[in-house]
Amino acid sequence: MQNTPWWRGAIIYQVYPRSLMDSNGDGVGDIAGIIDKLDYIASLGVDAIWVSPFFRSPMKDFGYDISDYRDVDPLFGNLDDIDRLIAEAHRRGIKLIIDQVLSHTSDQHAWFQQSRESKDNAKADWYVWADPSEDGTPPNNWLAIFGGSAWEWEPRREQYYLHNFLKSQPDLNFHNPQVRAQILSEVEFWLKRGVDGLRLDAINFCFHDQQLRDNPAKPVAERKGRGFSEDNPYAFQRHIFDNTRPENLGFMEEIRSLMDRYPGAVTLGEISSEDSLATMAEYTQGNKRLHMAYSFELLSDEFSAAYIRQTVETLEQGLGEGWPCWAIGNHDVARVVSRWGAGNQSPQLAKVLNAMLFSLRGSICSYQGEELGLTEASIEQHQLQDPYGITFWPRFKGRDGCRTPMPWSDEANGGFTAAVPWLPVPQEHLLRAVSVQDPNKDSVLNAYRHFTQWRKQQPALLWGDIQFYDLGKNVLAFSRQTAEQTLLAVFNLSAEDVRATLPSELNENGGLDPLTGHGFSGMKQAEVLVLPAFDAYFAVINQ
């Protein structure tokens, strides 16, 4: 497998810059803070880091509203800091992936400032503008994810502009070839600087229906899921005209054509559509679009062995030669041990969830703090920063609870800053701080490190095909197979001990040779696997 691209089977560690480490005492993390923690990140055994947006921005959506694609916001540092981050990461053998937010900009971007002034200036058609309906209302029924209409009135043009997110995030008009060419130029700026890949935010939102047709209503029974609370009317529609348009596939191919001029550079698309698994397959099809994509299926509240199996198998059936990427946590959803642990947020649950994620076929995104088993922080209303949570409080409390600063020590503010942190560090996180876990060989942190190193020695876990087995309600079991190794991985996802009877085919041809060194204690007794609560078993399947 020496010719396998570096990103296939890679573990990508997501850094949320505001919350990793504050180097200058202003209460907000920064690029220099990331550099300071590169040795720690390297100790985790990950292959790459994905850094969430650090570009110049008014921070209405914490960097996902970009006012200059080619500059670093002073809050985080400057371009020299980014160059140093790239160099220092590479010196440690770590690749660097950056966020690119292409579907929209900030309303403070120079392009939009010009576009909003008139209908006949050089940037007039760079954003999505539409005349009002006869009664002055918006041109159609499209809704914004963060609440309300997706249209905002601009009196200077006497037109509405489209915003799929906040009204301060106007959508670019990708039907305009000048816009596509300019965006590709913005992307190439960073490729020339030496980044190894791009995480493409909301990449299926680039194009809109030029006829501005209304989205159809969604039946009540289908409104749950996809990460939207029931009090958000966005869930009331089928979003078939405001995103995931067929024209977007051509733009994916334009991006890929650019990426192919930078050997080794990779694209990772974030997909949220009516059928995200089908869109993931479509967007990675034929080795001519995105290299890989991930969606929110395993970032949802739903948790069971059957659900994980169904999700992975559904994607595999449609993926063809495409390559998946999986995540169970990120900066947009509640911490996984709280989301999936319900009343049991034990360190052992964190260990088995990390190992399960690292054993799936594909590349992996692991969010900062998952190596510590961090729980969702409880944020009071007056402490909220996230506009999403501010709008939908109290039924949806926003995304601040997963964005709190990393606890490096059990001292005040977790050793993150000497100032008042931008979000509070919860007391319970101090008990799971790096300084507490580092000397403890049985900690979640050291289990994470141990497993990532062990995984590197298992070709089947890095690149192998996947096949699932039914071993019972709370048990997730599958094989991973390459030409050189076939490996069985079994996970008890419950808080109770489990005895699982092996299917006959796993006892034939020499049966199973248990593997050691992974840190779990599940064992085989005759034709039965004995798995303690939140534990796992690994073995070579003899062919």
pLDDT higher than 90, residue 71 = yes
pLDDT at position 321 is 84
pLDDT digits (tens, 9 = 90+) for 271-303: 999 999 999 999 999 999 999 999 999 999 999
pLDDT of residue 384 exceeding 60, the answer is: yes
> Residue 30: what pLDDT?
98
Domain at 521, CATH number: 2.60.40.1180
Question: Which residue is catalytic, options 154, 201, 316, 535?
Answer: 201
- The pLDDT of 132-141, averaged and rounded, is 98
Residue 161 lies in a domain: no
Could you tell me which residues come within 8 angstroms of residue 136 by beta carbon, excluding any fewer than 6 positions away?
none
Domain range for residue 505? 462-541
Is position 209 annotated as part of the catalytic site? no
Share of the chain above pLDDT 70, in %: 98
For residue 241, tell me if it sits in a domain: yes
Q: Is the pLDDT of residue 358 over 60?
A: yes
| CA atoms lying within 13 Å on the CB side of residue 251 | 27
Residue 91 and residue 22 share a domain: yes
pLDDT above 90 for 225: no
Q: Which of 157, 65, 172 is nearest to 116 (CA)?
A: 157
Domains contained in the chain, number: 2
- Residue at a domain's end among 402, 420, 454: 454
Is residue 146 a part of any domain in this protein?
no
Q: How far apart, in Å, are the Cα atoms of 31 and each of 36, 50, 80, 198, 425?
A: 9, 13, 10, 17, 20
> Does residue 53 have a pLDDT over 90?
yes
One domain, residues 354 and 319: yes
Do 189 and 248 have their domain in common?
A: yes
| CA atoms of 31 and 476, how far apart (whole Å) | 39
Q: What is the pLDDT of residue 509?
A: 63
Nearest to 522, CA basis, from 507, 538, 510, 506: 538
Among 454, 485, 516, the domain-final residue is: 454
Confidence category of residue 252, pLDDT binned at 50, 70, 90: very high
Of 431, 454, 477, which residue constitutes the final position of a domain? Answer: 454
Predicted pLDDT of residue 75: 98
For residue 232, the model assigns a pLDDT of 84
User: Is the confidence at residue 1, as pLDDT, over 80?
Assistant: no
Percent of the chain with pLDDT over 90: 89
Tell me, yes or no, whether 340 lies in a domain: yes
The answer to whether residues 533 and 400 belong to one domain is no
pLDDT of residue 489: 98
- Mark whether 276 and 347 lie in a shared domain: yes
The answer to whether 442 is a known catalytic residue is no
Among 156-160, 181-185, 438-442, 523-527, which is the least confidently predicted range?
523-527
**CATH number, domain containing residue 196:** 3.20.20.80
Q: Do 226 and 278 have their domain in common?
A: yes
> For position 171, what pLDDT does the model report?
98
Do the domain assignments include residue 140?
Answer: no
Of 270, 282, 370, 400, which is the active-site residue?
A: 270
User: pLDDT digits over 360-370, tens only?
Assistant: 999 999 999 99
- The C-alpha atoms of residue 470 and residue 474 are separated, in whole angstroms, by 10
- The verdict on 443 and 493 lying in the same domain is no
Based on the fold, state whether residues 496 and 403 are members of the same structural domain. Answer: no
